[in-house]
Amino acid sequence: MSELSEPALSRALLIGAHSFADPGLEPLPAVSRNLTRLAELLGDPSVWGLAPDHVRMLPEPDRDQALEEVARLADEAEDTLLVYYAGHGFVHELSNELYLGLPRTNPRLLYSALRYQDIRELLLAPQARARRKVVILDCCWSGLALHGAMSSSGLGGMSDISGTFVLTATSETRTALAPPGERYTAFTGELIGALEKGIPQAPPLLTMMTLYQHLYGSLTAKGMPKPQQRNGNTAGAIALARNRYRPPEPPPPPPEGTSTKDEPADDAPAENAAGTAGSSAVRGRRRRLSRRTVVVVSTVLVAALGMLPLMLDSVFGEGARGGSSDGGGSGNSGNSGDTKNKLTVGIGVSVPLSGDLAELGKGIKNSAELAVEKANKDDFVPGVTFKVQALDDKAQPATGQVNATKFVADSDVVGVVGPFNASVANPMQEVFVQAHLPQVSPANSAPELTLGADWLDGPRSRPYDTYFRTVVNDMAQGPAAAGYLHEWDGRRRAFVIDDKQVYGHSLAETFKTAFREEGGRIVGESQVDDDQRAFTEEVKQARAADADVVYFGGSYEGGAALSKQLHAADPGIRVAGGDVLCSSDYISEAGSGAVGDICTVGGVVAERLDSAKPFITDYEKAGYSTPYGPYGGYAYDATWALIRAFKEGVHITGGELPPTARGDLRKAVQAVAFDGVMGRVGFDRYGDAITRRVQVYQVRGGRWSGV
Q: Give the tens place of pLDDT for each residue, 239-250.
A: 999 999 866 555
Q: 210 falls in which pLDDT band (50, 70, 90)?
A: confident
67 pLDDT more than 90: yes
Mean residue pLDDT of the chain comes to 82
Residue 549: strand pairing partners: 494, 574
Alpha helices in 623-660 (DSSP H): 632-649
Task: Give CATH superfamily name and number for 343-472+631-691.
Answer: Response regulator (3.40.50.2300)
The residue with greater pLDDT, 584 or 509, is: 509
Q: 183 falls in which pLDDT band (50, 70, 90)?
A: confident
pLDDT digits (tens, 9 = 90+) for 655-690: 899 999 999 999 999 999 999 999 999 999 999 999
Asked which of 173-182, 250-259, 342-351, 645-654 is least confident by mean pLDDT, the reply is 250-259
Q: What is the mean pLDDT of residues 291-306?
A: 30
Q: What is the mean pLDDT of residues 207-228?
A: 84
Long-range contacts of 533-540 (CB under 8 A, 24+ apart): 533/557, 533/558, 533/561, 534/561, 534/565, 535/497, 535/561, 535/562, 535/565, 535/566, 536/565, 538/495, 538/497, 538/562, 539/565, 539/566, 539/569, 539/570
pLDDT at 306: 33
500 pLDDT more than 70: yes
Alpha helices in 305-418 (DSSP H): 358-377, 397-409
Q: 630 falls in which pLDDT band (50, 70, 90)?
A: confident
Question: Using CA atoms, how far apart are residues 429 and 278, in angstroms rounded to an integer?
Answer: 27
453 pLDDT more than 90: no
pLDDT at 219: 83
What is the pTM assigned to this prediction? 0.52
Q: 177 falls in which pLDDT band (50, 70, 90)?
A: low
Alpha helices in 274-391 (DSSP H): 291-304, 358-377
Q: What is the mean pLDDT of residues 268-275?
A: 32
> By C-alpha distance, which of 102, 55, 41, 62 is closest to 83?
55
372 pLDDT more than 70: yes
Report which residue type is found at 441: S
The residue with greater pLDDT, 346 or 336, is: 346
Say if strands 673-676 and 679-682 run parallel, antiparallel, or are unpaired: antiparallel
Q: What is the mean pLDDT of residues 115-137?
A: 91
Q: 188 falls in which pLDDT band (50, 70, 90)?
A: very high
Q: 2 falls in which pLDDT band (50, 70, 90)?
A: low
pLDDT at 168: 87
307 pLDDT more than 50: no
pLDDT at 632: 95
Q: What is the mean pLDDT of residues 575-603?
A: 91
The residue with greater pLDDT, 269 or 222, is: 222
Q: Is 437 exposed, middle or buried (0-12, 13-18, 19+ CB in 10 A)?
A: buried
pLDDT at 175: 47
236 pLDDT more than 90: no
What residue segments make up the domains of the chain, in order of their start? 7-242, 343-472+631-691, 475-602+696-706
Q: Is 323 exposed, middle or buried (0-12, 13-18, 19+ CB in 10 A)?
A: buried
181 pLDDT more than 80: no
174 pLDDT more than 70: no
Q: 278 falls in which pLDDT band (50, 70, 90)?
A: very low
> By C-alpha distance, which of 105, 114, 175, 115 is closest to 142?
175
Question: Using CA atoms, how far apart are residues 384 and 547, in angstroms rounded to an integer?
Answer: 61
Q: With respect to CATH, is domain 475-602+696-706 assigned 3.40.50.2300? A: yes
Residue 204: strand pairing partners: none
281 pLDDT more than 70: no
629 secondary structure, DSSP code: T
Question: Using CA atoms, how far apart are residues 43 and 53, in angstroms rounded to an integer?
Answer: 10
pLDDT at 653: 85
pLDDT at 222: 78
pLDDT at 327: 40
573 secondary structure, DSSP code: S
Q: 300 falls in which pLDDT band (50, 70, 90)?
A: very low
> By C-alpha distance, which of 534, 539, 541, 574 is closest to 557?
534
60 pLDDT more than 70: yes
| Terminal Cα distance for the chain, rounded | 49
Q: 322 falls in which pLDDT band (50, 70, 90)?
A: very low
Residue 676: strand pairing partners: 679
180 pLDDT more than 70: no
Task: Report the SS3 class of residue 69.
Answer: helix
The helix or strand, by DSSP H or E, that contains position 217, with its residue range, turns out to be helix 208-221
Q: What is the mean pLDDT of residues 227-254?
A: 73
> By C-alpha distance, which of 271, 384, 288, 368 is closest to 336?
384
Question: Using CA atoms, how far apart are residues 552 and 532, in angstroms rounded to an integer?
Answer: 12
Q: 232 falls in which pLDDT band (50, 70, 90)?
A: low
Given a contact cutoff of 8 angstroms between Cβ atoms, the answer to whether 363 and 301 are in contact is no
Given a contact cutoff of 8 angstroms between Cβ atoms, the answer to whether 529 and 500 are in contact is yes
> By C-alpha distance, which of 675, 685, 683 is closest to 636?
675
pLDDT at 705: 86
Task: Report the SS3 class of residue 95.
Answer: coil
pLDDT at 299: 28
Q: Quote the percentage of the chain above a pLDDT of 70.
A: 81
pLDDT at 178: 57
309 pLDDT more than 70: no
Q: Which CATH class is domain 7-242?
A: alpha beta
Q: 340 falls in which pLDDT band (50, 70, 90)?
A: low
pLDDT at 290: 31
pLDDT digits (tens, 9 = 90+) for 407-436: 999 999 999 999 998 889 989 998 999 899
Same CATH topology for 343-472+631-691 and 475-602+696-706?
A: yes
Q: Quote the percentage of the chain above a pLDDT of 90.
A: 58
Phi-psi sector, 259: left (phi>0), alpha (psi -120 to 50), beta: beta
Question: Using CA atoms, how far apart are residues 558 and 543, in angstroms rounded to an integer?
Answer: 19
pLDDT at 601: 85
